[in-house]
Amino acid sequence: MMDPASPLYLGLVLTGAVLALLLLIVRLKVPAFFSLMLISACAGLLLGVPPTDMAETIRAGMGSVLGFIAVVVGLGAMLGALLERAGGVEAVAAALVRGKSAARLPWMMGLIGLIVAIPVFFDVALIILAPVLFRLAARAGRPLLFLAVPLLAGLGAAHAFIPPTPGPVAVAALMKADLGLVILFGALAGIPAAAVGGPLFAYVLFRDGRAPAEGAEGFPEQPRADQAGPEPPKRRASLAAALVFILLPLVLIAGATVVDVAKLSGCAAETMRFIGHPFTALLIAVALSYAHARMRLGLDARALNQAAARALEPAGAVILVTGAGGVFKQVLVDSGAGVRIAEAVADAGLPLLGFAFVIAAVIRIAQGSATVAMITAAGLAAPVAQAVGADAVETALAAVAVAAGATVLSHVNDSGFWLVSRYLGLTEMQTLKSWTVASTLVGLTGFAVVLALGAVL
């Protein structure tokens, strides 16, 4: 009988769980929320989670994700709906399209994602920018994914590679790497990674920015009508006002990040931390947007409330499916599957940079969370770096290699996969063909840059 603790058994269970999940959702059309919950419970039992602990594992997994995502998705959906109803999203989309060729749009979206996600969490940035993305794709007459893939790649690259996002900061601290070098090498790796996984990959998916023949790639040609939003009112928000409401939460969150990185104290610093928390920042933006639409534009309260209510209906599905993805992740964490596979990889005797990348990739693929993969892999790579006598440059490169490995192959056990899928209105197969491939290209390109830097430094 196969040893349940062996890497082979763990690998077979994880592979079987992913394949079964895809079979249920893609082939049998079983709802994603139910499929994730069912497969999570079955995988947990096979991986050794005691049946009496399964309910607590499900609660912990759901709660750990929804405690943050539910508030952000709800407020973000309301902010987007209010901006759409006031015509602000249309104003931003028109300004972005005006005078620009279609060839430049993916590069612009990738740059926006890369910049925005440096101080802001991936999911927060996606939710805030999604309405602009939908309207821009509709106005430019381009497939949604032609612009979404570069945006996602930029967000993912910045989130993984460039401090002060929490993942690379934690990796640098655990590995005792010089944060300045990690920022430098992370930027050198993240920028080309975002380009390859974003605009360049988008051109491969859609030649010349046009949709392929219907059904050829399984990608939607245009955003859905409800995604693109209603036509704006005759008296609409100005471009300046729309930018203020979109950028305000991002600026507040970035300000809180600066305060934390600088380790400032005092009343002003605490105030900045409070208003810069994603919850508070979005609350402020929603309140100001609502007040502007009512008092400045004179929009009817009933119309605004209906728009906000309609936005919260699909948000509920996003929240539940994302939470179910968190349950799948928690099962893999509580069972220790990711750590046991990582320990087996650690015995393979790889070079430092290769070890750092592979160990992070294995944990990422096994349990889904990029941040958990970074932190776990950094804890395993730190003693290896010390044992081989790595200098400051090598240690910083190893930290970036960890970030690269933790970025690859976002798939069905990653709550971010389901956030992208449900929030952008994609099927599971569309998400696998686009976001999963893009995240893998981002990670592999980043690691290639690390290897190149390691060869010349």
Rounded average pLDDT over 238-254: 81
Measured from the Cβ of residue 265, the count of other Cβ atoms closer than 10 Å reads 9
For the ranges 35-44, 103-112, 265-274, the maximum mean pLDDT occurs at 265-274
Paired tokens of 402: 């960890």
Q: Let me know if 117 is exposed, middle or buried by CB neighbors in 10 A (0-12, 13-18, 19+).
A: buried
Paired tokens of 233: 């009112």
Q: Give me the long-range contacts of 432-437 (CB less than 8 A, separation at least 24).
A: 433/205, 433/217, 433/218, 433/219, 434/145, 434/148, 434/149, 434/152, 434/205, 434/219, 435/149, 435/152, 435/410, 436/409, 436/410, 436/411, 437/201
The confidence band for 214, taking pLDDT boundaries of 50, 70 and 90, is: very low
Rounded average pLDDT over 22-29: 76
* Rounded (10°) CA dihedral 26, 48, 369, 220: 0
For residue 448, is pLDDT > 90?
yes
The confidence band for 119, taking pLDDT boundaries of 50, 70 and 90, is: low
For the ranges 14-23, 145-154, 174-183, the maximum mean pLDDT occurs at 145-154
For residue 205, is pLDDT > 50?
yes
Choose the weakest-confidence range: 24-33, 263-272, 404-413, 448-457.
Answer: 24-33
51-74: per-residue pLDDT in tens?
A: 888 989 889 888 877 877 788 778
Query: Residue ranges of the domains in the chain?
Result: 64-162+222-321
- d(CA 306, CA 72) in angstroms, rounded, equals 20
Looking at residue 443, what is its pLDDT? 95
Rounded average pLDDT over 150-166: 84
Choose the weakest-confidence range: 185-189, 227-231, 352-356.
Answer: 227-231
For residue 351, is pLDDT > 50?
yes
Phi, psi of 4 (to 5 degrees): -60, -20
- d(CA 338, CA 258) in angstroms, rounded, equals 33
- d(CA 55, CA 213) in angstroms, rounded, equals 46
For the ranges 37-51, 95-109, 323-337, the maximum mean pLDDT occurs at 37-51
Measured from the Cβ of residue 6, the count of other Cβ atoms closer than 10 Å reads 13
For residue 211, is pLDDT > 60?
no
Measured from the Cβ of residue 103, the count of other Cβ atoms closer than 10 Å reads 11
Give the DSSP letter string of 304-371: HHHHHHHHHHHHHHHHHHHHHHHHHHHHHHHTTHHHHHHHHHHTT---HHHHHHHHHHHHHHHH--HH
- Whole-angstrom CA distances from 249 to 121, 124, 245, 288, 449 are 12, 10, 7, 11, 33
Q: Over the chain, what is the mean pLDDT?
A: 79
Query: What pTM did the predictor assign?
Result: 0.68
For residue 200, is pLDDT > 60?
yes
- d(CA 111, CA 442) in angstroms, rounded, equals 14
Rounded average pLDDT over 235-259: 80
Looking at the chain, the whole-number percentage of residues with pLDDT higher than 70 is: 81
Measured from the Cβ of residue 158, the count of other Cβ atoms closer than 10 Å reads 28
The confidence band for 217, taking pLDDT boundaries of 50, 70 and 90, is: very low
Looking at residue 192, what is its pLDDT? 95
Looking at residue 401, what is its pLDDT? 95
The confidence band for 26, taking pLDDT boundaries of 50, 70 and 90, is: low
